[in-house]
Amino acid sequence: MAVARPPRPTRSANAGTVDRRWWVVDAADQTLGRLASRVASVLRGKHRVSYTPHADAGDFVVVVNAEQVRLTGRKLEQKVYFRHTGWVGHLRSRTAGQVLGGPHPERVVEEAVRGMLPRNSLGRKLHRKLKVYAGSAHPHAAQKPEVLHLG
């Protein structure tokens, strides 16, 4: 006769039990949405066995060459980013082509990833672990980031 064992307790990840890794992603010639969804998944920790929806169990992600990201179709002319200055009637809009050609092209990738994260304090915490740079240089070499292959 077999002896019944008690069920194992479910283990939830928390900030103390997660060992964070650093990943570097080259955005050159990558489609924006596919890149952003993969990066958001790593930021949330969905690539881990110990994924916990309510906890920050993800890794740090460094995205380089954000100015060379690819948008399909006519999104360069038709995709519009809005921001408000805080003054009445001062809603500003710029197309994706203007943002990519402007002084901060990394904002296109930042906004795409931010839109795929939760809209709460956890999402804001996860977004702080995303580092995006327009060129190929980044100041995070001391963290020894590993290359994250997309696809």
> In this structure, are residues 117 and 145 in contact, taking their beta carbons and an 8 Å threshold?
no
Whole-number pLDDT of residue 115: 98
> In this structure, are residues 115 and 35 in contact, taking their beta carbons and an 8 Å threshold?
no
Q: Does domain 22-102+118-147 have CATH number 3.60.130.10?
A: no
Encode pLDDT of 131-148 as tens digits: 999 999 999 999 999 999
Encode pLDDT of 35-73 as tens digits: 999 999 999 999 999 899 999 999 999 999 999 999 999
4 pLDDT band, cuts 50/70/90, is confident
